[in-house]
Amino acid sequence: MASLPQFSLSHLLISISLTFFCFSDPCFCSKHKHFNLSTQAVHWSSAGATWYGSPDGAGSDGGACGYGNTLSQAPFSSLVTAVGPSLYKSGKECGACYKIKCTKHRSCSGKPVRVVITDFCPGGPCASESAHFDLSGTAFGSMAIPGEEDKLRDAGVLQIRYGRVACDYSGKTIVFRVDQGSNPEYFAVVIEFEEGDGDLARVDLQQASRKPDEWWEMNHSWGAVWQLNAGKELHPPFSIRLTSQYSGQTLVAKNVIPAGWQPGATYRSLVNYL
């Protein structure tokens, strides 16, 4: 795992004590002063890399994070990767972004490429190496000198450099795709396109009720899926509060799931971290 920057106790105390609130419609966001990935230099570490799927493809249809058939489309644009257990962390790192580059093969360009974790690679070098990226064919080829993508893909296992970075989805807002198994008492959702840190430590749901400060903590189900089994009927519209894994920054997508929501439907918020 890439090493993260170390901070002094005084910085930590400042991070905890200073809080900024902003109010707007449709979102309320609480921003603790924090050290986020968008302001940090890349800390490079070593990893192995392979590729899977078609040479110009997105690796797999959906993968273990649950993003479905969106991987070949913008903003993922097939620049995605499966990772081994050390980076996947039981799906909690789904959506995290890394820069990768290779320099040890004659077809390597040496230029960094940003990829997103969308899948899990459970065996082989993915499990035996301290860090391993099983990249889509597109992502693997993107490390090559232009015109030598196929030569690089023929190289087998590569040694690469990697570093955790902020995600950049070109201004897209966070999207919530309701799981097909959801019903009035059980709600599950795939969360996509979190800019900045990219991964989530906690997700909470607020239903329409007489208790405006009441939030229900959702459970991390698998991949990028979060669920709430309320045991009683929930009353939409739902607001969803997201807490970043890396920085602890929170934001709220207010009433993002409307009354009359449907399983399988996708609802776009008006908020994001950057």
Give the residue extent of every domain in the chain. Answer: 9-35+171-268, 41-165
At the second CATH level, the architecture of 9-35+171-268 is: Sandwich (2.60)
Q: Which residue has the higher pLDDT, 271 or 171?
A: 271
At 160, phi and psi to the nearest 5?
A: -125, 175
Question: Looking at residue 38, what is its pLDDT?
Answer: 65
* 60 — pLDDT class (breaks 50, 70, 90): confident
49, 157 Cβ separation under 8 angstroms: yes
Q: Give me the DSSP letters along 72-107.
A: TSTTTTT-EEEE-HHHHGGGTTTT-EEEEE--SSTT
Q: Which residue has the higher pLDDT, 171 or 21?
A: 171
Answer yes or no: is pLDDT of 64 > 90.
Answer: yes
- pLDDT above 90 as % of the chain: 72
- Vertex 168 angle, CA 2 and 123, to 5°: 45
Question: Looking at residue 240, what is its pLDDT?
Answer: 98
Tokens encoding 91: 């799906």
- pLDDT above 70 as % of the chain: 85
20-24, 153-157, 255-259: lowest mean pLDDT where? 20-24
- Per DSSP, helices labelled H in 2-98 are 9-17, 85-88
* 239 — pLDDT class (breaks 50, 70, 90): very high
- Name the CATH superfamily housing domain 41-165: RlpA-like domain (2.40.40.10)
Question: Looking at residue 119, what is its pLDDT?
Answer: 96
pTM over 0.85: no
The pairing of beta strand 216-217 with beta strand 158-165: unpaired
- Whether residue 55 is preceded by a cis peptide bond, meaning omega within 30 degrees of 0, is no
Bridge partners (DSSP) of residue 205 are: 216, 240
Alpha-carbon distance of 84 to 80, in angstroms, equals 14
